[in-house]
Homo-oligomer: A and B are copies of this chain.
Amino acid sequence: MARSTRPTIADVARAAGVSRGAVSFALNGRPGVSDRTRARILRVADEMSWQPDHRARAMRVQRAQAVGLVLHRSVDTIADDPFFASLIAGVEQVVSRHAWSLVLDVVADDDEERATYERLARERRVDGVVVSDVRVDDPRIGHLVALGLPAVTLQRPTTPSPFPAVRVDDDRGMRAAVRHLLDLGHRRIAHVAGPAWLEHGLRRRRAVEAELAAAGLAPHAVVESDFTAAAGARATAQLLDLAEPPTAVVHAGDPMAVAGLGVAHARGVRLPEDLSVTGFDDVELAGHVHPPLTTVRTDSRAWGAGAATALVDLLARRAGGDDALGGEEHDVHLPPPELVVRGSTAPPGAAAT
């Protein structure tokens, strides 16, 4: 455990017979040293397996070379919703390519969330953050502005935000799912929604309503849920208990939809003859349950990657002296999600025909 022998830039400089400054120049590829000296310095540094101490450098250049991601959901939801893992993976992919780091925090409530952002900003652990699960009237936007912590949001918040957003046209996918059911002949279409206080929960619900309205219909019923399988199961049970149950249910998330299939199955409802079901996200399991789930394929990893890229770009602009935060003109638009038709949807009463 050769803890004491970790070389510093001074050791490298001495070994190479140059000044510390020269080593720094050589390492960072800037003019000031001849090619021969540069090569020698780099060789020596490599031999000593020296790399600059990230902290010392960060302190000097006033940049952490790290981005933060603060996830605010119960610890359980995080495990149950594959979305987060994909998001993290996407962010990480970009961040690591730049030799930056991802600092991750999971918080349980609003207070902890505030405190965490404050800590990240004050301690300067990160240069900026990715804001996910944007809420309706999201208080974090103002908070981050006040803290002076640059950010990128996933979707554009409903309230004005000075930060760039990574946008994807969820609506299109949701409407495609409803359209698909309408085309199959369904008229009693229910929706199991995400929480209305989440921007994407609300947005997806509006999309369902809009597409139905375009066909002169209204949702047969809307049950607000929270994206978990347990809540999805409850919601489906509730819908099946209606005097006049729906013939199709559009879910705002796959785990809810899969649980819905399970409940229907358990009650002897024939799938998809008696009930058509759609999901949202296309998690890996979606194609492997029975009947395989018709769902909307999103690319959460691309979302994470897009957000990280936007953030890195934003920070680069700021490092270049541009104090602006970017705003809408730097929004990144991702390709809209597409409907994946599988076996969980069919014309209503298909078996009866």
Copy count, this protein chain: 2
Does A225 lie at the interface of the complex (its beta carbon under 8 Å from any beta carbon of B)?
no
Within 8 A of B (CB), among A231-286: 232-233, 255, 258-259, 261-263, 265-266, 283-285
Known: A96-B105, A104-B92, A105-B96. A79 touches B300 (CB 8 A): yes
A331 to chain B, nearest CB (A): 20
| A261–B283 CA distance with the chains assembled, in angstroms | 17
Interface hit among A27-35, A47-55, A167-175: A47-55
Chain B residue nearest in CB terms to A96: B105
A212 to chain B, nearest CB (A): 27
Does A99 lie at the interface of the complex (its beta carbon under 8 Å from any beta carbon of B)?
yes
Inter-chain contacts of A116 with B (CB < 8 A):
96
| A101–B122 CA distance with the chains assembled, in angstroms | 14
| A77–B76 CA distance with the chains assembled, in angstroms | 19
Which secondary structure characterizes the binding site on chain A?
A: helix
Inter-chain contacts of A145 with B (CB < 8 A):
1
Known: A80-B82, A93-B75, A284-B80. A123 touches B265 (CB 8 A): no
User: Which A residues are closer than 8 A to B by beta carbons?
Assistant: 1-3, 6, 49-56, 58-59, 64, 66, 75-76, 78-82, 84-86, 88-90, 92-93, 96, 99, 101-107, 116, 118-119, 122-125, 145, 148, 228-230, 232-233, 255, 258-259, 261-263, 265-266, 283-285, 287-292, 300-301, 323, 325
Chosen A-B contacts, 14 in total, with CB atoms closer than 8 Å, are: A49-B122, A54-B124, A55-B58, A76-B284, A79-B300, A88-B104, A92-B104, A96-B116, A101-B105, A103-B103, A103-B104, A258-B285, A259-B288, A262-B290
